[in-house]
């Protein structure tokens, strides 16, 4: 209690710039903790839904069962993933039926590319607020150092005005200056830990999304027939054009 009262007295005796630095660091700390707690809760829900989707998709034998899995997980990350890719698959199948009901290699590659793009979209959303934590971890010590340098300058100015350099005159000013450095470290260290923890959680979610994408890919492969299509390379096209000109 005595230490807390002494610290509070040092804070109340600080100047406007030191107060501004301390309030900025307090705001950064509140934002970091809010982002961290929200991300932790959402990450746990996403992993639970992804595990459920992966388990159910392994037993899906046709597209209708895959649609039922997607509808059961509506409003979740795996539900969005399955719905978006099944809609795209449906549009590709409708186009292929007009040509005989078989998918070309190019169309199959487009389906796989769409799966990868959906994973990237979900991961961009998952990592949306992580830069706040990394930026806070980098900026907070610098803000604390700025406040310390500012406080030391004013402390030495007061010492020169009083023309006294004993410990009684020096200690309060230096202690006030070091308060901002302490506050910067209190913000930066947890922010760095939060960032690394959430980054690990994001990589775990990404791995589960890739597993879900592979499961959907394998299920679709069992249901569809792929026809190889030979696409002439650029050199062959140039040679054919030259022959036509001749």
DSSP state of 15: -
233: CB partners within 8 A, 6+ apart: none
Q: Is the dihedral of CA 53, 57, 60, 66 positive or negative?
A: positive
Q: What is the pLDDT of residues 180-230, one digit of tens each?
A: 888 899 999 999 999 999 999 999 999 999 988 888 888 777 776 544 443
pLDDT confidence of residue 59? 79
Q: How far apart are CA 158 and CA 93, in angstroms?
A: 80
Residue 138 predicted with pLDDT over 50 = yes
Report residue 166 CA to chain centroid gap.
Answer: 52
| Average pLDDT taken over every residue of the chain | 79
Overall average pLDDT of the 114-137 stretch: 90
One-character DSSP codes across 60-102:
--SHHHHHHHHHHTTTSHHHHHHHHHHHHHHHHHHHHHTTTS-
- Give the confidence band of 231 by pLDDT, cuts at 50, 70, 90: very low
46: CB partners within 8 A, 6+ apart: 76, 77, 126, 205
User: Whole-prediction pTM value?
Assistant: 0.76
- Give the confidence band of 3 by pLDDT, cuts at 50, 70, 90: very low
Buried-exposed string 52-85: b where 16+ CB fall within 10 A, e elsewhere? ebbebbeebeebeebbebbeebeebbbbbbbbbb
Instruction: Please count the other Cβ atoms lying within 10 Å of the Cβ belonging to residue 108.
Output: 19
- The CA distances from residue 135 to 62, 90, 185, in Å, are 47, 43, 14
Closest by CA to 38, choosing from 135, 139, 124, 129, is: 129
Q: How far apart are CA 118 and CA 61, in angstroms?
A: 22
One-character DSSP codes across 125-168:
HHTTTHHHHHHHHHHHHHHHHHHHHHHHHHHHHHHHHHT--SHH
Contact assessment for residue 88 and residue 111, using Cβ atoms and an 8 Å cutoff: yes
Task: Please report how the helices 63-72 and 77-97 are oriented relative to each other, as an axis angle in degrees rounded to 10.
Answer: 150
Q: What is the pLDDT of residues 57-109, one digit of tens each?
A: 887 777 778 888 888 888 888 888 888 888 888 888 777 776 665 667 777 88
């Amino acid at each position: 209690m005595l230490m807390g009262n002494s610290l509070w007295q040092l804070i109340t005796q600080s100047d406007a710039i030191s107060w501004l630095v301390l309030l900025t660091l307090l705001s950064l700390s509140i934002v970091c903790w809010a982002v961290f707690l929200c991300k932790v809760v959402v990450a746990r829900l996403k992993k639970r839904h992804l595990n459920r989707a992966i388990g159910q998709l392994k037993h899906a034998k046709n597209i209708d069962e895959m649609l039922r899995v997607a509808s059961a997980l509506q409003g979740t990350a795996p539900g969005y993933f399955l719905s978006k890719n099944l809609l795209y698959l449906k549009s590709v199948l409708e186009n292929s039926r007009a040509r005989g009901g078989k998918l070309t290699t190019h169309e199959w590659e487009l389906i796989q590319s769409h799966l990868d793009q959906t994973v990237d979209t979900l991961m961009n959303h998952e990592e949306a607020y992580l830069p706040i934590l990394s930026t806070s971890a980098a900026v907070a010590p610098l803000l604390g150092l700025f406040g310390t340098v500012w406080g030391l300058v004013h402390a030495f100015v007061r010492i020169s005005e009083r023309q006294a350099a004993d410990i009684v005159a020096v200690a309060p000013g230096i202690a006030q200056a070091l308060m901002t450095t302490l506050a910067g470290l209190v913000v930066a260290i947890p922010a760095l830990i939060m960032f690394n923890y959430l980054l690990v959680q994001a990589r775990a979610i990404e791995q589960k999304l890739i597993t879900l994408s592979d499961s959907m890919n394998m299920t679709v492969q069992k249901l569809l027939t792929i026809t190889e299509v030979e696409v002439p390379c650029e050199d062959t096209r140039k040679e054919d054009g030259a022959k036509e000109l001749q």
